[in-house]
């Protein structure tokens, strides 16, 4: 379980000894940004869209894939439709979401193009603030997901 920055940074060392990685984004965010997510004044600033959190996810995925291991993401970030393109673009193999959100996340995934997701993922890794990441993903979502034709079966 990758829940602290040190574990993400050591993922290449751990990879030969594990079957897979699961990234817990709630704890990873809290410990990366050094903000208590339950603190009344700090909780709103502990944002999983922060580029530092996304970079740690990227490091973990690269290390895991280099050793033939898969990576899952759980926590609030996995359930955010806005985050799905970035997570897929970073190479995350599985999203763990609560049962009521499965149809929404599944529909979002079906609308995405892997190459486009990889492009937006690289773009957001280069940003400096969570708000910038959110805005870039909103623009991506508006340009791709919202304009995709709906195919009914």
Encode the chain (153 residues) as per-residue pLDDT tens digits: 999 999 999 999 999 999 999 999 999 999 999 876 776 666 567 799 999 999 999 999 999 999 999 999 999 999 999 999 999 999 999 999 999 999 999 999 999 999 999 999 999 999 999 999 999 999 999 988 665 554 443
CA distances from 3 to 26, 42, 127, 152 (A): 8, 19, 22, 40
Token pair recorded at residue 93: 């193999």
pLDDT given for residue 153 in this prediction: 39
The topology under which CATH files domain 5-143 is TIM Barrel (3.20.20)
- pTM given for the model: 0.91
């Amino acid at each position: 379980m990758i829940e602290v920055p040190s574990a993400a940074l050591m993922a290449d060392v751990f990879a030969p000894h594990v079957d897979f990685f699961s990234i817990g984004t709630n704890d990873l965010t809290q410990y990366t940004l050094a903000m208590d997510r339950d603190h009344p004044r700090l909780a709103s600033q502990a944002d999983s869209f922060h580029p530092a959190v996304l970079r740690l996810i990227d490091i973990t995925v690269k290390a895991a894939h280099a050793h033939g291991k898969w990576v899952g993401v759980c926590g609030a970030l996995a359930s955010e439709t806005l985050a799905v393109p970035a997570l897929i673009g970073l190479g995350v193999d599985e999203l763990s979401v609560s049962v009521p959100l499965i149809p929404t996340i599944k529909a979002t995934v079906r609308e995405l193009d892997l190459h486009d997701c990889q492009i937006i993922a690289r773009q957001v890794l280069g940003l400096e603030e969570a708000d910038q990441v959110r805005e870039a993903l909103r623009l991506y979502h508006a340009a791709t997901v919202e304009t995709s034709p709906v195919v009914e079966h």
